[in-house]
A and B are shown apart, each in its own frame.
Chain A
Amino acid sequence: MSGFGNFALLLALFLSGYAVVIDLLGSLRRDPGLIKSACNATVAYMACLSVAMIALWVLLVKSDFAVIYVAEHTSRALPFPYKISALWAGSAGSLLLWLWFQAVFLVIVYCKSEFKHRSFSANARMMANLVSVFFLIILNSDKNPFELSKVTPVDGAGLNPLLQHPAMVLHPPILFVGYAGFLITFAWAFGQLKTAPDDNSLPLLKQAQRWAIFAWLFLTGGIVLGAWWAYEELGWGGYWAWDPVENSSLLPWLTATALLHCFRTYNRRSSIATWTVLLGIITFSLCVFGRFLTKYGLVSSVHAFPNPGLGILHVVLLIHVWVIAGALMLRNYIRKKNETPHAGIPSHRFVILNNWLLLLLALVIFVGTLFPFLSKVFIKIIESLSTQAGPPRAPITLAPEFFTKITAPGGLLLLLLIGLCPHLLRRGFNKSWRIILGVIAFAGALTIWLLTCSLETVRPSGISGTIGWWGQWLLSGSPAIPCFILSGFVLVNLLADFAKKSPRNLRWYGARIVHLGVAVMFIGIAGSGGYAMEKTAALRVGDKTNIAEYELTLNDLKVEYGRNFIAVAADISVHKGDKLIAKLKPARAFYSASRKNVSEIDIRRTLAGDLYLALTEVDNSRKLINLLIMIKPLINWIWIGSFVMVLGTLAVLLSSFKQKAITAKEN
């Protein structure tokens, strides 16, 4: 079976290589037979990848530990669902899954036999298959899931208990659907570059737009799922650490957001068209680069597994892609020099502003993530040029604070843009500034009043305490305040929109709901980031500790003996004044065999915020614990906001499909 899987992968490599060459030949010679053959080859290698996946699944389910991948990610005792999800638990299998999604999407979109779009499809497929060729080279050699080990182990290593969680099972495939979906806009961009666009290409554009929305939906979902798992499972009370692995999923998300707005205002004669093509290529390039970053340890972090292997192929692929893109863009520019430029519609100005903002944010995060690597290179250059001694020369890493310092203002600017655009578009600046200021002031006051009522966890009681606290809050200079005000501004705008009698359809609602979700998310981020409280306490049974307005009492420490673990559970009651408001049971389990500790947090969740408890230490006598207590105001609005974003996106996607059905009927 592993031999068969191996063979399927090898065949896929040859077929995809064939497809690239034949598509090229076919479009140069305008030969429909060749083009159809390349199209079939694409379908064929998609089938081979499916076969390979099934083969790998069979090996995983049968626990064939002769295969290294199976031994590394499963064990005999592993529950069945996790043997299935083990397919994407390791980098070889996850590459296979990603590639399979890509192939399936490619076949669905660009392997139809419509005559009209044959040469466009050939050009699109060519570049998409080039990507597949590179990935398949890696899959067949460096990261081959079917590689056999010399000695068959008796049992496999199993899956880290932290990863045995539904969110962690779903997180990779959801992200991969997103990454693979952006291949379509990538392919479309190259089709646009090579084939001169004309009026026939509108359905292709709409199709690429639909796929961009679809991919963005999944990428957003995947990122939020990862953040939520980190918060629930990892026990440090945070949901985003600006780690290179996390950043590599955020970067394409930022450029894809810009891409979506470009599609929305697309006009093939204006500069937006160039932006759209560029962003389509950039977004997918970031997906590929992100994979390179996470799986090949370019940046020394706690995730690094310095194992160069054939990782360099990712970079080679990207170089190919950009050289080809550059050449095509140059060619088009020379051809178009004589045409009169299009004036562009007013909304283009804002979309371009949005593009620049998101692109710059992505650039800074990109550079910040790569800083250790870049500083290493920089140091080597400096060292080879000078011989002086000086400040210590070592690679520089940037703490998470760097990223927060940059993205906080960046986020505020984005929020401002969301709020301002409708006004400025409708009436222009001169007529709107009074309205804008008025709405901001109103929104600010409203938001602050509402939050005062809800931030009970952080607000002290008593009048003088409250005034003092308000003063402190307002003067703290924390970016949270402007964030609340701007989010309020956006929310008030949207509510006003809903109240007006403007034309409404599903897409109109969807777009507004997405931005609503964004504003809500920002409120959650600002609240939990700006006003969180943290305390660690050493407690024995009977001890009490205080945080904000709460008093926590450790009532009991229970020891539980399991088959392969010993767990200590703390029984903690939370009082506010005299009232008992919660009983929480954070626990800590020690697995004897693997000598691992796993912390089970407990949370009291309310809309106003979370009270988060984690048992960080238990001493040997099991009578003394260290308890990490965190208050995270408004954090649940992050999850609520992202859910709203997903709903809005679904509405937009649905309306796009409705539109497609309507135009199909008309033709």
Chain B
Amino acid sequence: MKIKMILKILIGVTVIGGGLGYFTFQAMQSSWSYYYSVDEFSANISDMNNYSFRIAGRVKPGSVNRDLQKMNLTFTLAGTKTEIPVFYEGTVPDNFTEDIEVVVEGRLDENKSFKAKTLMTKCESKYKAKVE
């Protein structure tokens, strides 16, 4: 009798656990992105085409170009040794400006320029930040 019960529980846990695990994994697959710094990203740039990435760097002063008519933004994301050109279409966070730390999320396009679909700025106060 007892073995039957243990078997039942084991099967139940495996089914539920397996189901949950598979489901969670599926959800992860579609929404994960690797997190890099600019220099790390540039170092591996030949491998980068198929994945979604988050890159952290600094906005290079003088590189910001906003086109309000076409509603896009281009700038250069700078690390300590390397740089990446970024193209972004979307709402720009209020505190975006030159020389601040930002995180972009997106993919590399054919021209080796980074097409960002998300742009996040670090919040200055130790409080909730605005996220695009």
Q: Which residues of A contact B (CB under 8 A)?
A: 89-91, 159-160, 162-163, 168, 226, 230, 234-236, 241, 243, 245-246, 295, 300, 302-303, 305, 360, 364, 368, 371-372, 391-392, 394-402, 405-406, 409, 536, 538, 595-599, 614, 616-617, 619, 624-626, 628
Residues of A within 8 A of B44 (CB): 392
> Which of A89, A230, A235, A614 contacts B128, CB < 8 Å?
A230
Q: How far is the CA of A391 from the CA of B90 in the complex (A)?
A: 29
Residue B111 at the A interface, CB < 8 A? Answer: no
List 23 A-B pairs, Cβ < 8 Å. A89-B127, A160-B127, A162-B130, A234-B128, A236-B91, A236-B132, A243-B128, A243-B131, A305-B126, A364-B20, A368-B28, A372-B35, A394-B40, A396-B33, A397-B35, A401-B27, A405-B31, A538-B68, A596-B95, A616-B91, A619-B66, A624-B68, A628-B91
Residue B4 at the A interface, CB < 8 A? Answer: no
Residues of B within 8 A of A396 (CB): 32-35
> Which of A163, A364, A398 contacts B31, CB < 8 Å?
A398
The 3 closest A-B pairs by CB, nearest first: A405-B27, A399-B31, A394-B34
**Is the CB–CB distance between A395 and B34 below 8 Å?**
yes
Residues of A within 8 A of B26 (CB): 405
Residues of B within 8 A of A371 (CB): 32
**Is the CB–CB distance between A392 and B71 below 8 Å?**
no
**Is the CB–CB distance between A406 and B35 below 8 Å?**
no
Residues of B within 8 A of A595 (CB): 97
Give the residue name and chain of the B residue nearest to A595 (CB).
B97
Q: How far is the CA of A303 from the CA of B125 in the complex (A)?
A: 9
**Is the CB–CB distance between A399 and B32 below 8 Å?**
yes
> Which of A360, A391, A599 contacts B20, CB < 8 Å?
A360
Q: How far is the CA of A395 from the CA of B55 in the complex (A)?
A: 11
Residues of A within 8 A of B24 (CB): 364, 406
Give the residue name and chain of the A residue nearest to B122 (CB).
A302
> Which of B103, B122, B126, B128 contacts A90, CB < 8 Å?
B126
> Which of A295, A399, A626 contacts B71, CB < 8 Å?
A626
**Is the CB–CB distance between A625 and B68 below 8 Å?**
yes
Residues of A within 8 A of B69 (CB): 538, 624
Residue B94 at the A interface, CB < 8 A? Answer: yes
Q: How far is the CA of A360 from the CA of B19 in the complex (A)?
A: 12
> Which of B68, B91, B129 contacts A302, CB < 8 Å?
B129
Residues of A within 8 A of B35 (CB): 300, 372, 394-397
Residues of A within 8 A of B129 (CB): 243, 302-303
**Is the CB–CB distance between B95 and A302 below 8 Å?**
no
Residues of B within 8 A of A402 (CB): 27-28, 30-32
**Which one of B30, B44, B54, B70 has the highest number of Cβ atoms from chain A below 10 Å of its Cβ?**
B54
Q: How far is the CA of A134 from the CA of B50 in the complex (A)?
A: 47
Residues of A within 8 A of B32 (CB): 371, 396-399, 402
Residues of B within 8 A of A364 (CB): 20, 24
Residues of A within 8 A of B120 (CB): 302
Q: How far is the CB of A308 from chain B (nearest CB, A)?
A: 15
> Which of B28, B34, B48, B70 contacts A538, CB < 8 Å?
B70
Residue B64 at the A interface, CB < 8 A? Answer: no
Q: How far is the CA of A409 from the CA of B51 in the complex (A)?
A: 27
Contact with A along B97-126 (1 / 0, CB 8 A): 100000101000000000000101111111
Q: How far is the CA of A625 from the CA of B71 in the complex (A)?
A: 10
Residues of B within 8 A of A597 (CB): 94-95
Give the residue name and chain of the A residue nearest to B73 (CB).
A617
Residues of A within 8 A of B48 (CB): 392
Q: How far is the CB of A160 from chain B (nearest CB, A)?
A: 4
Residues of B within 8 A of A235 (CB): 94, 130
Q: How far is the CA of A396 from the CA of B27 in the complex (A)?
A: 14
Q: How far is the CB of B121 from chain A (nearest CB, A)?
A: 7
Q: How far is the CA of A160 from the CA of B123 in the complex (A)?
A: 10
User: Taking A160-B125, A302-B123, A305-B126 as contacts, is the C-beta distance between A536 and B71 under 8 angstroms?
Assistant: yes
**Which one of A243, A360, A402 has the highest number of Cβ atoms from chain B below 10 Å of its Cβ?**
A402
**Is the CB–CB distance between A399 and B105 below 8 Å?**
yes
Residues of A within 8 A of B90 (CB): 536
Give the residue name and chain of the A residue nearest to B52 (CB).
A399
Q: How far is the CA of A400 from the CA of B118 in the complex (A)?
A: 12
Q: How far is the CA of A235 from the CA of B132 in the complex (A)?
A: 9
Q: A395-B34, A405-B26 are in contact. List 5 more A-B contacts (CB 8 A).
A: A392-B36, A396-B35, A538-B71, A616-B91, A616-B92
Give the residue name and chain of the B residue nearest to A618 (CB).
B68
Q: How far is the CA of A230 from the CA of B127 in the complex (A)?
A: 12
Give the residue name and chain of the B residue nearest to A394 (CB).
B34
Q: How far is the CA of A625 from the CA of B69 in the complex (A)?
A: 8
> Which of A89, A160, A392, A617 contacts B124, CB < 8 Å?
A160
Q: How far is the CA of A540 from the CA of B50 in the complex (A)?
A: 39
Residues of B within 8 A of A246 (CB): 128
Give the residue name and chain of the B residue nearest to A237 (CB).
B91
